[in-house]
Structures are given as structure tokens and as C-alpha cells.
Amino acid sequence: MVRVLGRVAAAAVWVSCVASCLGQDGLLGELYGRGVHAYFSRDYRQAYELLTEAIRNQTNDPRVYYFRGLALRRLGRPDEAREDFQKGAELELTGGEAYPVARSLERVQGTERAVLEEQRRLVRVQQFKVQSAQARARYEQTKRAEAEAVRNPARPVPAPPPVPKEADASDPFSGTNGSKVPPAPLPPATAEASPVPAPAASPAPPSNPPKASSPAPSATPPKPAPEADPFATPPAAPKPAPAKAPSDDPFN
């Protein structure tokens, strides 16, 4: 029950807030419409009072300031009119809500429109300069931060050493004090270059190479063989030796 009553109370508050906002917006819209109607009816005093009442109720409509400035110009107060034009231009740029300013000012022509547009232009230029200065300041701040980071780089935080685990009593490779002995780190593998055999030295040529031996010349040259005579009688064949008579010697 209490929860239901709480929800009902919250809903009632929300409805009252919405009605108040709608009522406020409706009141401001009505004051603006009546002020614009009075201005075009050339009742500049009434237009000034109605638009001033809308400004007192904290309106964010830049058109209220524009038309009140126009009414002030008609009342002979140009300096105050210029201030209203500047305020309206600032709201038009930074108010956050879009209003049909150009359409609302279509009926305003002549000197009043020229003065109003000049103030709008000046405010835009001033706002652009402010935004450019802010962007430049942010850029310089970023560059300084980058330069500082380059000069003083953050040192890497070393990793904490590993916590040794308790050794198992049944582990035959554990140390004598009950803690497991970590294996010794292996030396870094370095590829040793195999020795390159030195090239075999070529034998040096002898300083005095031996000379090829030549046959010693004979004292007397050999005589040429005599030529065979084609008409000579061939020599007789040798006679066979006479056979010996058989001997009675048994040991012959």
C-alpha cells in the first residue's frame, strides 16, 4: 500500500512539473506573440513591456531580445537596442534550441534590419575567435604533454619474482630442506661457426729445375750396314751332324 501511494505521489509530482513547464512555455510564447504584434502595430511602448516581461521569466528565445531591441530603437534608445541584439545573437549561437529566427525577421527591413544583422555578424566573429583560442590552447597543452612524456618516459615496472611452491615430500628431486630445487638455467645457445680448413699450400717450384738428360754422343758414329746384293748366291744350309753309333754302355 505504501509503495502504491509512493508511486502515485511521484506521478503527481511529474505531472505538476510537466504542466508547470508547459504553462511556462505557453506564457512565454504568449508574451512573445503579443509583443511582436504590438511592434508591428507601432505600439512600441507596449511591445517593450511585453517582451521585457518575457525576459524576466528567463526566456531562451533570441527573437524576444531582437524584437525588444527593435522596439528600443523606435523609442530612441539605440545603445540599449544594441545590447539586446548582442544578447539575442549569443543565445542564437549557444542556446541549444533552434528557433526560426530568419522567418520571424522577414518583415523587418531597412535600417533596423541592417543594424541587427551587423550585431549578429560581430557576435559570430567573436564567438569564432573564442573557439579558435580554446582549440589552440588545447593543442598546445597536448603538445606539451607529449614533449614531457618523451623527456621523462615512464619506467617499466619489473615483474615480481615467482613465489616458490612447497615441494612434495615424495618428490625424489626435491632439495634436502623440503623445497624443490629449481633447475639451473641453460646457457644461451650460441651457434659456433665450424672452422674453415685452410687451403693447401701449393709446392713452391724448385729454384734450379733439373734439365732433361740427353744421350751422350758416341765417339765414333756407327757404320751403316752394307746393302744386300740381289744377284748374290744364297749361302748353303749347314749340314747336320752325323749320328753316333749306339754304345753298349748301359749308362749312356
Predicted confidence band at 50 (pLDDT cuts at 50, 70, 90)?
A: very high
- pLDDT for the residue numbered 26: 79
Q: What is the mean pLDDT of residues 173-191?
A: 54
In the structure grid, which three cell numbers stand for residue 235, read together? 749361302
Q: How does pLDDT run across 101-153, given as a tens digit for each residue?
A: 999 999 999 999 999 999 999 999 988 888 899 898 999 888 888 888 887 76
Domain ranges of the chain: 2-151
CB neighbour list of residue 116: distance below 8 Å, 6 or more residues apart: 66, 69, 70, 85, 105, 108
Query: Higher model confidence: residue 157 or residue 122?
Result: 122
The domain made up of 2-151 has a fold known as 1.25.40
